[in-house]
Amino acid sequence: MSYTIRQLRIDDADYPVHLRSISKAPQLLYYIGDISLISTPLIGIVGTRRSSPYGRWAAKEIASAVARCGIPVVSGMAEGIDSAAHWGCLEAGTGTVAVLGTGIDIPYPESNIRLYNTIAHKGLILSEYAPGTIGWKGNFPERNRIISGLSKSVVVVEGALKSGSMITARLALEQGRDVFAVPGNINQPNSVGVNKLICDGAEPILSIEDAVPALGLGRAAKGLAIDKLSDDEKLVLGAVIEHPGSNSEYIAMKTGLSMRETSVLATALELKGLLFSEGRSLFVSK
């Protein structure tokens, strides 16, 4: 299957400022898909190709949590952790960004051809290498500076002490990005790198539930939730914003909704994490 390959130059208006600012920023990028996905910083998720079931689960679940905030995940489309992160993002309904160490027309590894085709249709594929370029060993460490350069934060899920994941983490720190790590099983060689990162100061991701606030995406999640509210839900939320501590009777009077409608809507807003109650009083969640 062939795709339209486009180019993005460093002086183009669509070239992301956060990537342009890194050392050795790529002068030219080839791309397939939705270039708008890199208009704002992403969350990078990287890790070993020789991943454990636990590592793949963690990468996919964290990527899904990030994607539900409307934030794309960027990774390298390798087997193992990278693939799990891409699929987690795609299955949550948000486009993902794959940065290749080959020419953009060469899916690598070949076993990921289905993932390549899915990202081409629903996300963005990037490469600084001209079409037809094969995957030389030195390309992949070079590619990693682009993954971290596109990111607000980088999450490392499983990686040996000397690995591409650790290179990406080092590059992220040099670029001023935040680095997070998923704690690993101390009996596994691919946990040594991530556990050392935590020992050296990287913030650990201690649970899937804590991933979104740890990565600073709480506001993004809330903004996405508000955008999807019904008009009546927005009325109720607006009344509580104006008068914190309001009860259902006051909100019904203020909005013109019935008491029953107000109660149902307030409950829905609590379930969405936008309101919380103390007795009969309603407040906006922080």
Tell me: pLDDT of 223 over 60.
no
The predicted model gives 196-224 an average pLDDT of: 81
CATH fold of 229-284, please? Arc Repressor Mutant, subunit A (1.10.10)
Residues of the chain with CATH 1.10.10.10: 229-284
Pairing outcome for strands 97-99 and 124-127:
parallel
pLDDT at 280: 84
Band the pLDDT of 31: cuts 50, 70, 90: very high
pLDDT at 214: 86
Query: With pLDDT > 90 as the criterion, what percentage of the chain qualifies?
Result: 63
Look at the block and give the residue holding tokens 């963005």.
124
Tell me: pLDDT of 220 over 70.
no
* Axis crossing angle, helix 139-149 with helix 164-174, rounded to the nearest 10: 40
Distance CA 82, CA 158 (A): 11
Nearest to 143 by CA among 91, 190, 106, 180: 106
Q: Which of 194-198, 218-222, 254-258, 268-272 has the least mean pLDDT?
A: 218-222
228 or 217, higher pLDDT: 217
Instruction: Specify burial of residue 26 (Cβ count, 10 A radius: 0-12, 13-18, 19+).
Output: buried
Instruction: Specify burial of residue 121 (Cβ count, 10 A radius: 0-12, 13-18, 19+).
Output: middle
pLDDT at 70: 83
Distance CA 266, CA 232 (A): 10
pLDDT digits (tens, 9 = 90+) for 241-256: 888 888 889 999 989 9
pLDDT at 267: 82
Residues of the chain with CATH 3.40.50.450: 6-216
From the DSSP assignment, how many helices (H) and strands (E) are in the chain? 12, 11
Asked if 143 and 100 count as a contact pair (C-beta separation under 8 A), the reply is yes
pLDDT at 78: 96
- 219: number of Cβ within 10 Å: 10
CA 181 to chain CA mean position, Å: 14
CATH 2.60.120.10 is held by the domain 6-216:
no
pLDDT at 279: 83
Distance CA 214, CA 233 (A): 28
Band the pLDDT of 228: cuts 50, 70, 90: low
Q: What does the block give as tokens for 7?
A: 């180019």
Band the pLDDT of 10: cuts 50, 70, 90: very high
Distance CA 10, CA 15 (A): 6
pLDDT digits (tens, 9 = 90+) for 134-193: 988 889 999 999 999 999 999 999 999 989 999 999 999 999 999 999 999 999 989 999
pLDDT at 222: 56
pLDDT at 226: 62
Torsion angles phi and psi, residue 69, rounded to 5 = -85, 0
Distance CA 105, CA 127 (A): 9
Q: Which of 41-50, 119-128, 201-210 has the least mean pLDDT?
A: 201-210
What DSSP string describes 61-96? HHHHHHHTTT--EEE---TTHHHHHHHHHHHTT---
